[in-house]
């Protein structure tokens, strides 16, 4: 069983069983400073955080990763250039690139394409696979047809998808992404943080569930869901 907790924008905490049978805690795009976040970096002090995954270096995704890594000794994972940046700031990091799984013994972590921009390296999505759970966090991205390959290769149980438009997929594109990926559960993200990315997650939920029969859970910041 895994637990997925949402902290607003694209910031998630995932707890799952690793390939070594031990519980792992992963933070993804930890922008605790987002206007909707119920937590601050100091709230993670002395907590066990194994990995902090950053999809790209925009401030609303790289966010508070460095500070949280210092507080928790969590290892930052991202593209090579982000890992170098993290190491320059005195924290441990694993840098890779889009391709096969990273050489991490206790989890399978795969960086995937994302159609977006960044200053350091390239933007990515990420698939995290433990013993019993596979999660795809799309990062900031538009729709792209190779999402079908992500579904085929990695069979994500859960997809975390942006729906806010303007910088990423909007609702229409995210609905199509669900068809391509074929997850069992979808959680929308990257909406309503700012006026320019206003979107109705319940419209997204209605369209996906009516069209594909895939369960959509809308989480308020601070809420969590257990899977399965």
pTM for the structure as a whole: 0.98
Is 228 buried (19+), middle (13-18) or exposed (0-12) by CB count in 10 A?
exposed
Measured between alpha carbons, how far is 183 from 48 in angstroms, rounded to an integer? 28
In this predicted structure, what is the pLDDT of residue 43? 97
* In contact, 60 and 34? CB cutoff 8 Å: yes
77 forms beta bridges with 53, 94
Report the pLDDT averaged over residues 103-127: 97
Average pLDDT across the chain, whole number: 98
pLDDT of residue 46: 84
Max CA-CA distance within the chain?
49
Range list of β-strands (E), the chain = 2-6, 12-17, 23-28, 51-53, 75-79, 93-96, 108-113, 124-129, 134-137, 158-162, 185-189, 215-216, 224-227
What one-character DSSP code corresponds to residue 76?
E
Residue 112: predicted pLDDT: 98
Q: Domains in the chain, ordered, with CATH?
A: 2-219 (3.60.15.10)
For residue 1, the model assigns a pLDDT of 84
CA distance 163 to 142: 10
User: 3-state class of 95 per DSSP?
Assistant: strand
What's the pLDDT at 95? 98
- What mean pLDDT do residues 115-120 have? 98
């Amino acid at each position: 069983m895994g637990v997925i907790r949402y902290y607003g924008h694209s910031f998630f905490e995932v707890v799952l069983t690793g390939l070594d049978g031990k519980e792992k805690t992963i933070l993804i795009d930890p922008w605790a400073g987002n206007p909707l976040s119920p937590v601050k970096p100091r709230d993670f002090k002395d907590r066990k955080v194994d990995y902090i995954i950053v999809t790209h270096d925009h401030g609303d995704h790289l966010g508070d990763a460095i500070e949280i890594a210092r507080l928790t000794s969590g290892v930052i994972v991202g593209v090579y250039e982000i890992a170098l940046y993290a190491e320059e700031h005195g924290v441990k990091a694993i840098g890779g690139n889009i391709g096969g799984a990273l050489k991490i013994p206790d989890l399978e972590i795969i960086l995937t394409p994302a159609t977006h921009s960044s200053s350091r390296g390239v933007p990515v999505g990420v698939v995290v696979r433990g013993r019993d759970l596979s999660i795809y966090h799309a990062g900031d991205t538009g729709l792209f047809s190779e999402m079908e390959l992500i579904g085929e290769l990695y069979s994500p149980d859960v997809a975390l998808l942006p729906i806010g438009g303007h910088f990423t997929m909007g609702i229409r594109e995210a609905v199509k992404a669900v068809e391509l990926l074929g997850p069992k559960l979808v959680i929308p993200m990257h909406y309503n943080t700012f006026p320019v990315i206003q979107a109705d997650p319940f419209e997204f939920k209605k369209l996906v569930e009516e069209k594909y029969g895939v369960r959509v859970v809308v989480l308020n910041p601070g809420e969590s869901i257990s899977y399965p």
